[in-house]
Amino acid sequence: MSGSAFNAFKSRVPVAWSPRLYITLVRGLPGTRRLHRRTLEAMRLRRCHRTVEHRTTPSLLGMLTQVKRLVVVETEEMYNARRKADEDRRAPRPPLVVSHHPPAPTPTPAAAAEAATA
Cβ atoms of 40 and 46 within 8 Å: the answer is yes
Q: Is the pTM of this model over 0.75?
A: no
What's the helix, strand, coil split of the chain in %, to 5?
40, 15, 45
Helices marked H in the chain: 5-9, 34-42, 58-66, 76-90, 109-117
* Amino acid 13: pLDDT: 43
* Amino acid 9: pLDDT: 54
The mean predicted confidence, pLDDT, of the chain is 79
Residues in the chain with pLDDT < 70? 1-17, 111-112, 118
Helices marked H in 5-75: 5-9, 34-42, 58-66
* Amino acid 16: pLDDT: 60
CATH code: domain 14-90 is 3.30.1390.20
